[in-house]
């Protein structure tokens, strides 16, 4: 068994526990089973998984669909595959959707999301108005170039970026080229939304001919998978969208849809006026009853279809006019259909919320999925075998249950490969972010402790707070005045681009004395971003990031209690919070050579209850320290003096 894995393993030797991890993956795949495996950063999971799956994939003529949360993680899979290709014959690519791959400026200029890009692309292809696609099917010279390119790419390993660059040189459609490669390679790396979103999956598998039954599925960073599955099955509709739909119908002289939208807006506003909280559960049948009375019909399904059809007509007309195929009318119709379909399903909660919580403006109706099994069932049951892995999955049986994986799934948590003394993990007593304890005095004490830890670490430091409220509390307590390092504050509501720039500026402080990234656990900077070496020498987790007790959270806990008696609070409240904290803690530990400190500033992390749900690499090394700033500072300075090569 080890010889078969070693044939595809791209390095001269295995890291500690990496061979055990690979053999566990190999055994599960060879038996056609599901595996849930926890392994920390630095274990070398990607190379181990690929080397362990390729023997079975080759022998049984299967493909490997390797899914990750971000495009960067997908490209990382290809980087490892390129190393394997130097040793053994393997092929693969990273795949992105139309919007990321498209070369047509009209599509890029007019599409704000994946669905819009898909519709624009489809329209231009049908109308034979896309030069890049036509080059693939019409022009003989270009067609021959495309065929040569496909033969070359299908015999090697390539990223979506490299495909796009090669196609740009030949004026070919990058998406069409990537699509035609899918069924001819051993490994496809892509976002897991291509697998779990039923609409995207249907489109993807039209091009991927092997289908799920002839594929081994890998879910990397799978601690995100339950929330992602619920997210793709959830929907929302704001008052602004309804009002825009009304305007759209008026402009297109669609009087009946215009009137219907006006009535929906009235009902939505009426519910909002009687909602005193920032979120409140709505009885779905009451909304239906109010709407029927206001519109004057008992056939809401017919009404929903009428709106969807009118919106679809507008999309076609806008495309013919050379405009973006956006239709709020279609969106309202689709949402109303979903509301009716989910009204009798206990796996959904129906909620009234406000997009502008502070000013109680732009109310929204939401359909919230409560059970990831609803989304994942078809995918997990159809695949030949699956591997779910992350550094934060414990307790493994909870993940298996929540995702609906069978009881005979292979599960194991692997020790960290770090050398003794390489990672410092401490939980410090004396501070907390409990709601009742968030006084000015507590924030001042916490800010002093953050400063003591941050100034005792060399170079860059990450501070990950339980919420934006806690982050603001640290700012108001004068954290910036307590440190000499520049502080980079993550902002609520910032765009992806703004956050990328913030992280870039923070990283530039590495090697210059260091800076402090003040972010939120569970935010963009606490997951998916890498900070190797001096880019982050310490992670400071401030508070347990329990969610606010909103109507949605209460509904999730109550549903989990019905589905898993006695474990509702654990599954719906505690474990998601501990995983957010653990992911934040791991930002400073990105490779086997990193020497880092992890500091938990909340007394609850020292309790047996929280501690037992922390990942193994933290739990096995966690020391509890007393309520003493000076002692913490000395402990950290001593650690970094001993490990001064980071």
Percent of the chain surpassing pLDDT 90: 68
Q: What is the pLDDT of residues 604-627, one digit of tens each?
A: 999 999 999 999 889 888 999 999
Looking at the fold, whether 222 and 261 belong to one and the same domain comes out as no
- pLDDT, average across residues 535-547: 95
221 with 343, same domain: the answer is no
Per the CB < 8 A criterion, the answer to whether 396 and 411 are in contact is yes
Whether 103 and 173 have beta carbons less than 8 Å apart is answered as yes
- Number of independent structural domains in the chain: 3
Per DSSP, the three-state class of 62 is: coil
Do 268 and 352 fall within a single domain?
yes
At residue 623, the 3 state secondary structure works out as strand
**Would 186 be classed as within a structural domain?**
yes
Among the candidates 413, 444, 470, a domain finishes at 413
Q: Is residue 175 part of a domain?
A: yes
State mean pLDDT over 207-234: 93
Residues 203 and 266 in one domain: no
- Which of 413, 439, 474 finishes a domain? 413
Same domain, 530 and 608: yes
Q: Identify whether 418 is part of a domain.
A: no
Backbone angles phi, psi at 102, to 5 degrees: -65, 140
262-300 burial code (b ≥16 CB/10 A, e <16):
bbbbebbeebbeebeeebbbbebeebbebbeeebeeeeb
pLDDT tens digit string along 428-444?
A: 999 999 988 999 999 99
**Residues of the chain above pLDDT 70, percent:** 98
Q: Please, what is the end-to-end C-alpha distance for the chain in angstroms?
A: 37
Mean per-residue pLDDT, 631-638? 96
Q: Which has the minimum average pLDDT: 4-8, 51-55, 209-213, 222-226? A: 209-213
394 DSSP 8-state letter: -
Lowest mean pLDDT among 103-107, 158-162, 340-344, 508-512: 103-107
Q: Specify whether 431 is located in the same domain as 506.
A: yes
Does 180 lie in the same domain as 34?
yes
- Residues, the chain, total? 646
Q: Are residues 286 and 400 in the same domain?
A: no
Tell me the pLDDT band of 169, cut-offs 50, 70 and 90: confident
Q: Does position 75 have pLDDT exceeding 70, yes or no?
A: yes
Tokens in use for 14?
């295995």
Task: Inform me whether the pLDDT recorded for 646 exceeds 50.
Answer: no
**pLDDT of 645 above 60:** no
Please enumerate in sequence order all residues whose Cβ is within 8 A of that of 629, keeping only pairs 6 or more positions apart, or say none.
448, 449, 452
Map 400-420 to HEC letters. Answer: HHHHCCCCCCEEEECCCCCCC
Listed residue (420, 337, 389, 43) closest to 217, CA to CA? 389
3-state secondary structure 272-302: HHCCCCCEEECCHHHHHHHHHHHHCCCCHHH
In a domain, 625, yes or no: yes
Domain that holds residue 347: 235-369
User: Based on the domain organization, do 162 and 18 belong to the same domain?
Assistant: yes
Q: What pLDDT sits at residue 207?
A: 84
Kindly state whether residue 127 falls inside one of the protein's structural domains. yes
Q: Is residue 352 located within the same domain as residue 303?
A: yes
From residue 270, give the alpha-carbon distance in Å to each of 196, 294, 476, 630. Answer: 35, 11, 38, 57
pLDDT for 324 beyond 70: yes
CATH of the domain at 145: 3.40.50.300
Whether 314 is in a domain gets the answer yes
Answer yes or no: do 181 and 274 share one domain. Answer: no
Instruction: Kindly state whether residues 288 and 308 are assigned to the same domain.
Output: yes
What CATH number does the domain containing 307 carry? 1.10.275.40
| pLDDT digits 0-9 by tens, 261-307 | 999 999 999 999 988 888 999 999 999 999 999 998 889 999 999 99
Question: What pLDDT, on the 0 to 100 scale, is given for residue 419?
Answer: 84
Please calculate the CA angle 22-23-25 and round it to the nearest 5 degrees: 65
Average pLDDT over the chain reads 91
Q: Tens digit of pLDDT for each residue in 580-601? A: 999 999 988 877 888 899 999 9
Residue 23 lies in a domain: yes
């Amino acid at each position: 068994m080890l010889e078969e894995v070693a044939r595809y393993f791209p390095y001269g030797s295995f890291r500690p526990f990496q061979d055990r991890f690979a053999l566990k993956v190999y055994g599960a795949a060879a038996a056609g089973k599901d595996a849930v495996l926890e392994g920390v950063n630095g274990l070398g999971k990607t190379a181990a998984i690929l080397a362990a799956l390729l023997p079975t994939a080759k022998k049984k003529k299967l493909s490997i669909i390797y899914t990750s949360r971000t495009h960067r993680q997908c490209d990382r899979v290809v980087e490892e595959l390129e190393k394997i290709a130097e040793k053994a014959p393997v092929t693969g690519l990273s795949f992105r959707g139309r919007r990321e791959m498209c070369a047509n400026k009209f599509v890029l200029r007019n599409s704000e999301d994946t669905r819009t890009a898909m519709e624009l692309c489809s329209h231009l292809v049908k109308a034979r108005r896309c030069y890049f696609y036509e080059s693939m099917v019409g022009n003989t010279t270009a067609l021959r170039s495309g065929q040569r390119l496909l033969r070359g790419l299908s015999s090697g390993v390539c990223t979506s970026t490299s495909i796009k660059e090669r196609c740009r040189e030949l004026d070919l459609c990058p998406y069409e080229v990537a699509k035609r490669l899918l069924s001819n390679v051993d490994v496809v790396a892509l976002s897991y939304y291509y697998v779990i979103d039923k609409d995207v999956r249907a489109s993807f598998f039209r091009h991927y001919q092997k289908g799920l039954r002839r594929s081994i599925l890998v879910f990397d960073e799978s601690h995100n998978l339950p929330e992602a599955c619920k997210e793709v099955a959830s929907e929302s509709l704001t008052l602004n969208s309804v009002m825009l739909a009304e305007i759209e119908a008026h402009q297109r002289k669609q009087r009946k849809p215009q009137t219907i939208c006006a009535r929906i807006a009235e009902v939505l506003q009426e519910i909002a006026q009687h909602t005193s909280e920032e979120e409140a559960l709505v009885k779905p049948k009451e909304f239906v009853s109010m709407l029927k009375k206001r519109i004057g019909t008992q056939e809401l399904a017919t009404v929903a279809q009428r709106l969807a059809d009118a919106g679809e007509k507008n999309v076609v007309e806008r495309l013919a006019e050379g405009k973006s195929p956006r239709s709020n009318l279609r969106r309202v119709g689709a949402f109303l259909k979903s509301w009716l379909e989910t009204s009798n399903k206990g796996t959904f909660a129906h909620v009234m919320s406000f997009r502008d919580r502070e000013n109680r403006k732009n109310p929204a109706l939401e359909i919230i999925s409560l059970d990831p099994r609803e989304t994942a069932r078809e995918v997990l049951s159809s695949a030949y075998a699956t591997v779910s892995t992350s550094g934060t999955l414990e307790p493994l049986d909870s993940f298996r249950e929540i995702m609906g994986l069978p009881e005979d799934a292979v599960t194991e948590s692997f020790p960290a490969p770090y050398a003794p003394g390489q990672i410092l993990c401490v939980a410090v007593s004396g501070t907390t972010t409990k709601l009742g304890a968030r006084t000015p005095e507590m924030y001042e004490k916490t800010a002093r402790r953050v400063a003591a830890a941050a100034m005792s670490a060399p170079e860059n430091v990450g501070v990950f707070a339980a919420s934006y409220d806690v982050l603001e509390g640290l700012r108001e307590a004068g954290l910036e005045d307590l440190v000499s390092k520049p502080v980079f504050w993550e902002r609520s509501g910032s765009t992806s681009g703004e956050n990328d720039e913030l992280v870039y500026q923070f990283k530039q402080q590495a090697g210059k004395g260091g800076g402090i990234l003040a972010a939120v656990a569970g935010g963009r900077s606490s997951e998916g971003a890498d900070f190797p070496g001096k880019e982050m020498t310490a992670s400071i987790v401030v508070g347990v990031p329990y969610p606010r007790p909103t109507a949605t959270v209460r509904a999730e806990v109550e549903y989990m209690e019905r589905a898993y008696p006695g474990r509702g609070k654990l599954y719906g409240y505690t474990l998601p919070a501990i995983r957010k904290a653990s992911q934040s803690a791991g930002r400073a530990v990105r490779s086997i050579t990193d020497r880092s400190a992890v500091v938990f500033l909340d007394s609850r992390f020292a309790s047996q209850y929280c501690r037992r749900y922390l990942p193994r690499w933290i739990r096995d090394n966690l020391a509890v320290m007393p309520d003493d700033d000076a002692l913490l500072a000395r402990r950290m300075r001593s650690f970094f003096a001993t490990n001064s090569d980071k």
